[in-house]
């Protein structure tokens, strides 16, 4: 869950893999306020133990990231990590992979992992698309995209995370019966996401019998959501791999 601002970042500071062949950045700032000393220390002590292996070095088997894992979830843009940590606590049998380029958010997530004594969280402090490329077909049970940067202006829409190619990649990664959940509080982005997910081969919308403002039972409300920064109440879209 990223901070939905409308920054105009340069691509000069993109990771080397992205400079060579990667997509445009779908996120804005990398860091804002200074990271508190205790959280900064976790980058040295905790992060090396729970970091996702470098995706540039080859295929990543998600179940191999945690001994005994029975399922694998991916949260793209986990913001401060509250949702990721809460779901990890609820589902200790699943390895929770979280990707977030905003370093203050990663620091917050590390704090949640430490305080919760969570053993099933693995973090990638960079663009999720590198990790997605390194994951095998049909390797994920759930994909969560909550409150991604909306990139309001039409000329910036190409920077939105959810594009046709990322929707196809998500479909590739999901196991049969696996689900992707997309949540936004911007109406235009909800329409955009619905259109792209609906036309992705292999994905079928999950009909809940309720309108798209109805939160799923397992949804975790975060501090970002409570700020109500968008132009609508949160909209929930869920699709399943056939």
Please report, for the domain that includes residue 217, its CATH number.
3.40.50.150
- 72 forms beta bridges with 95
Return the minimum-mean-pLDDT range out of 4-8, 214-218, 221-225.
Answer: 4-8
Q: Tokens 């929707």 — which residue?
A: 167
The SS3 assignment for 122 reads strand
Indicate the DSSP class of residue 46: T
Tell whether 238 is in a known binding site.
Answer: no
Q: Are 144 and 75 in contact (CB under 8 A)?
A: yes
pLDDT exceeds 80 at position 47? yes
What stretch of H or E contains 131? helix 128-134
More confident residue, 13 or 57: 57
Query: What total of structural domains would you count in the chain?
Result: 1
Q: Is residue 3 part of a domain?
A: no
Residue 222 near residue 83, CB atoms below 8 Å: yes
Instruction: Find out whether 115 is annotated in a ligand binding site.
Output: no
Residue 108 lies in a domain: yes
The span from the CA of 149 to the CA of 158, in Å, is: 12
What pLDDT, on a 0 to 100 scale, did the predictor assign at position 131? 97
Are the C-beta atoms of 212 and 168 separated by less than 8 Å?
Answer: no
The model's pLDDT over 147-200, given as tens digits with 9 standing for 90+, comes to 999 987 888 789 899 999 999 999 999 999 999 999 999 999 999 999 999 999
pLDDT digit string (tens) for 52-82?
A: 999 999 999 999 999 999 999 999 999 999 9
Is 48 within a domain?
yes
188 labelled ligand-binding: no
Name the average pLDDT for the chain: 88
- The C-alpha angle 113, 124, 158, rounded to 5 degrees, equals 125
Catalytic site positions: 149
Does residue 12 surpass a pLDDT of 50?
Answer: no
Mean pLDDT along residues 120-144? 97
Residue 79 sits at the vertex; the CA angle it makes with 46 and 239, to the nearest 5 degrees, is 115
4 found inside a domain: no
**Residue 153 among known ligand-binding residues:** yes
Say whether pLDDT at 26 is over 90: no
pLDDT at position 32 is 58
Instruction: Write out 163-226 in H/E/C secondary structure.
Output: CHHHHHHHHHHEEEEEEEEEEECCHHHHHHHHHHHHCCCCEEECCCCCCCCCCCCCCCCCHHHH
Of 53-67, 82-96, 106-120, 208-222, which gets the smallest average pLDDT? 208-222
4 annotated as a binding-site residue: no
1 occurs within a structural domain: no
Task: Kindly tell me if the per-residue pLDDT of 123 is higher than 80.
Answer: yes
Mean pLDDT of 17-42: 62
Structural domain harbouring 39: 11-241
Does pLDDT of 5 surpass 60?
no
């Amino acid at each position: 869950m990223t901070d939905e601002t409308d920054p105009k970042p340069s691509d000069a500071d993109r990771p080397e893999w992205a400079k060579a062949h990667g997509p445009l950045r779908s996120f804005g700032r990398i860091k804002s306020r200074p990271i508190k000393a205790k959280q900064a220390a976790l980058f040295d002590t905790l992060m090396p133990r729970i970091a996702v292996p470098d995706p540039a070095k080859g295929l990543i088997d998600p179940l191999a990231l945690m001994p005994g894992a029975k399922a694998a979830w991916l949260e793209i843009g986990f913001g401060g990590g509250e949702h990721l940590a809460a779901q990890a606590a609820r589902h200790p049998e699943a390895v929770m992979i979280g990707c977030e380029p905003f370093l203050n958010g990663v620091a917050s997530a590390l704090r949640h992992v430490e305080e919760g004594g969570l053993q099933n969280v693995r973090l990638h402090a960079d663009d999720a698309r590198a990790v997605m490329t390194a994951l095998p077909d049909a390797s994920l049970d759930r994909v969560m995209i909550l409150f991604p940067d909306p990139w309001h202006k039409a000329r910036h829409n190409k920077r939105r995370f959810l594009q046709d190619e990322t929707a196809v990649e998500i479909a590739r990664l999901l196991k049969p019966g696996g689900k992707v959940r997309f949540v936004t509080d911007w109406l235009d982005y909800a329409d955009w996401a619905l259109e792209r997910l609906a036309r992705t081969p292999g994905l079928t919308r999950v009909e809940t019998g309720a309108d798209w403002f109805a939160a799923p039972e397992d949804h975790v409300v975060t501090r970002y959501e409570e700020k109500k920064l968008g132009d609508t109440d949160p909209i929930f879209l869920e699709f399943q791999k056939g």
